[in-house]
Amino acid sequence: MSKPLTDQEKRKQISVRGLAGVENVADLKTNFNRHLHFTLVKDRNVATKRDYYFALAHTVRDHLVGRWIRTQQHYYEKDPKRVYYLSLEFYMGRTLQNTMVNLALENACDEAIYQLGLDMEELQDMEEDAGLGNGGLGRLAACFLDSMATLGLAAYGYGIRYEFGIFNQKIVKGWQVEEADDWLRYGNPWEKARPEYMRPVHFYGRVEHHPDGVKWVDTQVILALPYDTPVPGYRNNIVNTMRLWSAKAPCEFHLKDFNVGGYIQAVLDKNLAENISRVLYPNDNFFEGKELRLKQEYFVVAATLQDIIRRFKASKFGSTEVVRMDLTTLPDKVAIQLNDTHPAMAIPELMRILIDDEKLTWETAWDITVRTCAYTNHTVLPEALERWPVDLFQNLLPRHLEIIYEINRRHLERISALYPGDHDRLRRMSLIEEGSQKKINMAHLCIVGSHAVNGVAQIHSDIIKDTVFKDFYDVDPQKFQNKTNGITPRRWLVMCNPGLAEVIAERIGEDYIQDLGQLKKLLKFVDDDALIRDIAKVKQENKMKFAVQLEEQYKVKINPNSLFDVHVKRIHEYKRQLLNCLHIITLYNLIKKEPNKAWTPRTIMIGGKAAPGYHTAKMIIKLITAIGEVVNNDSVVGDRLKVIFLENYRVTLAEKVIPAADLSEQISTAGTEASGTGNMKFMLNGALTIGTMDGANVEMAEEAGEENLFIFGMRVKDVEALDKKGYDAMEYYNRIPELKQAMDQISEGFFSPGEPDQFKDIVNMLMHHDRFKVFADYEDYIKCQQKVSALYKNPKEWTKMVIHNIAGCGKFSSDRTISQYAREIWGMEPSLEKIAAPDDPR
C-alpha cells in the first residue's frame, strides 16, 4: 500500500485552488525574497516565522494592488450607482488565504512556499484575526463585502478601525477571563492609511439660529483618519474597498489653553479624543447606553457621509472639475444600507448636511434622505433595541436632536391625519419615548427615515410586520421586505473545506462556487455509492485533523468515530446552551444507568464568548466546564461521551470546527433568533441540523426537505399560546423524571462538589423566570437527539441525508442575498462579468 499523501501533496491535487504555473511559482519566490529583504529588512538566516508570514502577505498583496487601482479607476470612469454598507462591525477573520482563493493563487503560493522549505499552514497561523465584530451581524457584513465584490457592485464597507477588537477568551478554572485583543501589535499588512482623506467630526457645542440658516458652533473637533483594506471578488479582477476610520486629535487640541501651564497635560489629553476608536463594545444582542458608544456611532456616520458626498460631487463623467452640485440626484448615484440601528445617525446627519450646509428645503432634503437610506433589522429582543436618552443627545449632538424632533413632529402629524384621535397609536409610534427619562427610539427613526426596511429571514420579517413594527407596517406596507441572510461559499467552503469543494467539483464542475444554486445537481447522485463514500471520507479526514488539535489543546482523548455534536455561537439565554447542558446530563445519566448498552458515542463541543457584563452567560460557561470535568473523568462512561468547551471561539476557529462537525445545534426558542448564519455554514459543510423552527432553520428545512433535518420543539404559535396560558417550569420539572434528576444534580452540587450552591442563580432562573422556556422543549429535544443517535449508526443513510442538505444550500449563498438587496432595495444590477486584469491591455 502506498504511503498516505501529506497535506501539501493533497492540496496540490485540488483543482479549485488554481494552477501552479512554473513562471508564476518562480515569480512568487523572487517577490517573496524581495519583500523579506527590502520590505522587512531581514536576512534569511535571522528571519522569524512572523517575518515569513509578512513577506508572503506582501507578495500576495502585490497581486491585489493593480486590480484595486484599476477597479477604482473603472468606477470613476463608468460612474455607476454606488452602495455604502455602514456597519459598526466587520468580523473579517484572516485575510491571507481568502485573498489567495479569490485570486486563484493558492496552489502557486503553496508550491513556492514549499520550494522555499517553509510550511504554508504554519505561516497562515501567524496572522491575527481581524475581530472587529461580536458575532452574526459583524460576520454578515464581511460575507456581504465578499459577495458585493464578486457580483461587480461598486460597493464600500464603512466602519471603525478599532484598536482592540473582540476580547480573547481564556478559560481559567472553568471561568471566562477576558484579555485585550491587541491585533495591530505587529502591524497589519492588508491596510493602507489614507491621511489625504482625513475628515473633521464635530461634537458638543451649541446651535445658533440665524435668518440665513442654522449654525452648530463651539464644537469639539476630532479627526477621522481612514484606513483602506482591499476586498477582492472571486476571480473577476474586481477589488473593492473597506474603509475604516481611526480617531485622531487635531494638532491644536486643548493646546490653546496651555499658557495656563498645562502643555504636557494637554498633549496627554489627546488620548481622550482618540479613545473613540479604541475598543469594540463586546455586547451581542444587548444595548448599553454609554456616551462613548454614541460617539462611535456618530463618528463613523459623520466621517462616512462627508466621504460619500465628496465622491458624489467629484465623480468624473468625461470632465475633471467638480461636476455635480445638484444634490437632488443623490439617490440615483448613492445607496446607504444601515446594518442595524447602530449607524442610524446617518439619517439626521444627512438632513443636517442637506439643510444647513447645502441650503436645501426640508421637503427636498427629506425626499433625498428617505430615497437614499435603507435599514436592516437584526433582532426583536427588546433589550437589544437602541433607545438613547434625550439629555445625552442634547449635550453631545444638539443640532441632531433638533432635527430628530422635527422629523418626529412631521411624522406624528401624518399619523394623526391617518388616525384622528388615536393618541395611543401616536405614543406607540413616536420617535421619542416619554417616561422618567425621555428616550429616542432609533429603530423608529430608521423606519421613518428609510425607503426600505428588511428582516433577515422570512419568519423574522413576518414577526416584524405582525408585532414589533406592526403600526409602521400598517401605514407603509411597501417599505417592508425580507432578505434572508447568506454566507460566502468562498470562505465557508472552498477555503475552509477544500476536500469537500473538490469532491463536489468532480461531480458538477467548478461553476457552483459563483452560483451555489447549482448544488442541486448533486441530487441525481444521492444514491451514488462513490459520492457517498467520498463525502464520508472527507468528513472523516476533517474530524481526524480537528481531533488531533483538540487532544493537543485540551488533553482529552477524542474518539474520532464518535458523533461530533457542535454548538458554537455567542453565549446567550435565548440561544439555549442550557438546553444542550440538560441533554448532556441526561445522556450521562442514561449511560451510567445502563453502561453495557450500545450507546452511540458523542463528543459534544460547545463554544462561544459571553459579554463581560452578562452574569448569567458567564455562569453558563462555568456550568458547561463543570459538567465536562465530571463526564470526562468518569471511567464508566469512557470514550462514549466527552464534553469540551472550545476556548476563544472566533472566525478562525469556526473555519476549523465547522468542516469537522456531524451535528449542528440551532436550538433557540422559536421567534428569537432573527436568522442565524452558522446554521448555513454547518449545512454547507456536511453536518446535519438539530433545531427549532426559528430563523433561517425554517427555510433550510424548506430547501432540503423537513425530513432531512432534525426539527423539534414549539413553533412560534406554540410559544405565543404558552405565553397566554402562562409558562410554569415546575409543571415540567414535576412531570419528567429525567429533567428533575438533571436539575437536582445541578442544584445539589453534583457538578460543583466544593460549592454545592454554585449554580443556584441558573437553577432559580430556569425554575422561576425563564423567558426562553427551556423546559418546555426538553422532552422533544431528548427524543429528537435519540433519533440522531439512531441514524448515526447507519452511516450510509446518514451520508445520504447529508447530500440532501448540501444540495439544498444554494439559497444560502450571500451572492443570492446581495443580488436581492441590489435589485429590490438599491436599484443596482449585479454582474458576473470579469474586468481586465492589470496585466491585460485595456
Specify the pLDDT at position 17.
73
b/e per residue, 659-690, with b = 16+ CB within 10 A?
bbbbbbbbbbbbbbbbbbbbbbbbbbbbbbbb
Listed residue (589, 582, 639) closest to 606, CA to CA: 582
Q: What is the mean pLDDT of each run of 10 residues along the chain (842 residues)?
A: 62 72 89 97 94 98 97 93 98 98 96 97 98 97 98 98 98 98 98 98 98 96 98 98 97 68 83 95 90 98 98 70 80 98 98 97 98 97 96 97 98 98 98 97 98 98 98 98 98 97 97 98 98 98 97 95 98 98 98 97 98 97 98 97 98 98 98 98 98 98 98 98 98 98 98 97 98 98 98 98 98 98 98 86 51
Specify the pLDDT at position 21.
76
Q: Where are the beta strands (DSSP E) in 570-709?
A: 602-607, 641-646, 663-666, 688-691
What is the SS3 string spanning 131-142? EECCCHHHHHHH
Specify the pLDDT at position 716.
98
Q: Is 526 helix (H, G, I), strand (E, B) or coil?
A: coil
Specify the pLDDT at position 841.
54
d(CA 219, CA 832): 47
**CA atoms lying within 13 Å on the CB side of residue 60:** 29
Q: Where are the beta strands (DSSP E) in 330-430?
A: 334-339, 373-376, 387-389
**R_g (Cα) of the chain, nearest Å:** 28
398-402 long-range contacts, CB within 8 A, separation 24+ = 398/205, 398/206, 398/207, 398/216, 399/207, 399/214, 399/216, 399/352, 399/356, 400/298, 400/345, 400/348, 400/349, 400/352, 402/207, 402/214
**CA atoms lying within 13 Å on the CB side of residue 669:** 21
Query: Rounded to two decimals, what is the model's pTM?
Result: 0.96
Specify the pLDDT at position 161.
98
Q: Which secondary structure element, helix H or strand E, spans residue 232, and what is its range? A: strand 220-232
Specify the pLDDT at position 262.
80
The string of DSSP letters for 466-503 reads IIITHHHHHH-GGGEEE----B-HIIIIIIT-HHHHHH
Torsional sign, CA 34, 36, 41, 42: negative
**What residues are labeled active site?**
378, 569-570, 575, 677, 681
How many CB atoms lie under 10 A from the CB of residue 267? 14
